[in-house]
């Protein structure tokens, strides 16, 4: 399957909203997805097929040298084909370029497949947020990928 990892533009938000609705019980609205694109500290990337289909996307934000991943989502028919791994690798590269100390994210405690994917990419379990998710009520596992940084 051929696709490219590219920065998300406003033309992708309709497909992002569709993926949100397919993947999450509390999907982000199109307005919120559009707002993420204009934040000066946003990192938003999409895996896009040759015919323009958004296969998956990730959105994140940075604060100083810290990175917070909002979402990693892949269209259900394209899972387990390397799309999420490609997005995570692109985030790793972007984090290095930005000089980040880490990327961190929350994942549902029951989502063992996602936890395994993140672990495969070097993310370590660092904590728990009790009752973080609402529908259904569930804890979040905090996972972090640390970058080697040197303060001088």
The whole-angstrom separation of Cα 58 and Cα 47 is: 9
The whole-angstrom separation of Cα 37 and Cα 43 is: 8
Given the residues 3, 17, 20, 106, select the one marked as catalytic: 106
Helix (H) or strand (E) holding 64: none
Question: Strands across the sheet with 137-146, in order?
Answer: 3-7, 42-49, 54-63, 66-74, 102-108, 137-146, 124-134
Given the residues 3, 78, 118, 133, select the one marked as catalytic: 118
Whether 138 is a known active-site residue: answer: no
Whether 106 is a known active-site residue: answer: yes
The whole-angstrom separation of Cα 54 and Cα 72 is: 13
Pairing state of beta strands 66-74 and 102-108? parallel
| Residues labelled catalytic | 106, 118
């Amino acid at each position: 399957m051929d696709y490219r990892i590219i920065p998300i533009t406003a033309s992708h938000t309709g497909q992002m909203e569709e993926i949100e609705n397919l993947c999450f019980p509390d999907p982000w609205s199109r307005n919120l997805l559009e707002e993420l694109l204009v934040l000066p500290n946003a990192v938003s990337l999409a895996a896009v097929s040759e015919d323009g289909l958004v296969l998956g996307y990730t959105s994140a934000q940075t604060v100083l040298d810290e990175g917070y991943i909002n979402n990693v989502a892949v269209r259900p028919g394209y899972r387990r084909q390397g799309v999420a791994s490609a997005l995570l690798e692109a985030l790793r590269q972007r984090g290095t370029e930005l000089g980040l100390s880490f990327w961190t994210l929350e994942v549902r405690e029951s989502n063992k497949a996602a936890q395994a994917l993140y672990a495969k990419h070097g993310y370590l379990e660092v904590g728990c947020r009790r009752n973080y998710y609402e529908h259904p009520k569930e804890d979040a596992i905090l996972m972090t990928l640390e970058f080697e940084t040197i303060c001088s």
